[in-house]
Amino acid sequence: MDGGDVSVEGKVTCASWIKRPENTHLVVIGKSTGTCSSLEIFSFNSENTSLSSSPKATYVFEEGGEPVRIAVHPSGDDFVCSTTTGCKLFELYGHEDNIKFVCKEFPIQDVGPQKCMTFSVDGSKLATGGVDGHFRLFEWPTMRIIVDEPKAHKSFRDIDFSLDSEFLASTSTDGAARIWNTRDGVPVTLSRNADENIELCRFSKDGTKPFLFTTVQKGNKTLIAVWDISTWKKIGHKSLYNKPASIMTISLDGKYLALGSKAGDVSVIDVTKMEISSLHKRLHLGTNITSLEFCPSERVALTTSSQWGVMVTKLNVPTDWKEWQIYLLLLGLFLASAILFYVFFENSDSFWNFPDPSTRPKIETLHVDATSEEQWSSFGPVDL
């Protein structure tokens, strides 16, 4: 396991990746020093899996409030930060060498702390789930209200959009889970047994048959359940890592799920096999992991905890083929085929390589005169 942490003064409260062109990604970190809070943006170096030693840009919350959660728009141009008082919208501009971000007017800046926030995959919707259980779904960027449900849950635990942005799953601190149709806001409640709590949720993102993954706490046992989104019936469940999970995420290509435990471990699960592909124990030793995200382009995880701050960790999973590597392999196969064909052509006796007729020896015609013919015919029948 390769990885590194970054020195950040104060308590880290949240963090998130900011996707940028040409994989020059950034990381935005929320922190609190007790007297003031701030957001800091760091650059990411994929070669040594590390963040820059100092922030590229900083914003100080002069009016108070501590960062709680960050949701970055898929374009990487905007992000929303939930604080203990409300939400703030920030816009990024400038180049990576001189990145800046400014706070903009936002209609939900006084709604109180939002425990969960996320943009839809296509960036057309923003969903927020409050500590008070209030659910809001907005059209982006107009902020037209699609759903406004004050009593959606007792208190929000987790939310996630489906790949096509048609559905949104939400879970509550009391173990309940609901599915929301993002067009009309009609909810469906997932069924569970009396001794089960549905805690975390993520939709599949690989573009094949869609599923919903949830963590289910059943006594001291932690299960991962899989739901069919056409019927919202549970297909099955599996126990992969028997430690209570505090956070769950899924890679952008949908190949891997990751769970952060309340003990500071991170387990990475191969979605196809539903087996643990990589286990990183004691990453945040003895501390609840509060943030967990896959890098947009690398098999690297961003994690935070109140005690150990922020870390970027290279995951021990099979290396993916890069696009240029695939093209290079195809070119190599083409060249190898061309060479084999040339060798075959030069050494083949097939019709492709008949000898030149002009080089063949001439065959003279045999002429028999009449005298010779009579000599041969003078012999009569042979008496055997």
* pLDDT per position as a tens digit, 177-214: 999 999 999 999 999 999 999 999 999 999 888 999 99
Which is it for strands 87-93 and 78-83: parallel, antiparallel or unpaired? antiparallel
**pLDDT on residue 377:** 46
Choose between 324 and 90: higher pLDDT: 90
Of 29-33, 149-153, 378-382, the least confident:
378-382
The DSSP annotation for 9-30 comes to SSEEEEEEEE--GGG--EEEEE
End-to-end Cα separation, the chain, in angstroms: 100
344: pLDDT confidence band, cut at 50, 70 and 90?
confident
379: pLDDT confidence band, cut at 50, 70 and 90?
very low
343: pLDDT confidence band, cut at 50, 70 and 90?
confident
**pLDDT on residue 330:** 76
How large is the average pLDDT for residues 56-63?
Answer: 93
- CA dist list (Å): 143 to 107, 124, 149: 8, 10, 16
**pLDDT on residue 193:** 94
**pLDDT on residue 5:** 62
Q: What is the mean pLDDT of the chain?
A: 88
How large is the average pLDDT for residues 365-374?
Answer: 50
Of 2-11, 53-62, 183-192, 237-246, the least confident:
2-11
CA 178 to chain centre: 23
Q: Which tokens belong to 153? A: 């849950």
**pLDDT on residue 373:** 47
355: pLDDT confidence band, cut at 50, 70 and 90?
low
**pLDDT on residue 312:** 97
**pLDDT on residue 12:** 96
**pLDDT on residue 235:** 95
How large is the average pLDDT for residues 343-365?
Answer: 59
| Separation between Cα atoms, residue 332 and residue 373, nearest integer Å | 70
* pLDDT per position as a tens digit, 101-150: 999 999 999 999 999 999 999 999 999 999 999 999 999 999 999 999 99
Q: Please count the helices (runs of H) and the strands (runs of E) in the chain.
A: 2, 29
Is residue 353 over pLDDT 70? no
Share of the chain above pLDDT 70, in %: 85
318: pLDDT confidence band, cut at 50, 70 and 90?
confident
How large is the average pLDDT for residues 285-307?
Answer: 96
246: pLDDT confidence band, cut at 50, 70 and 90?
very high
Is residue 259 over pLDDT 60? yes
CA 5 to chain centre: 22
284: pLDDT confidence band, cut at 50, 70 and 90?
very high
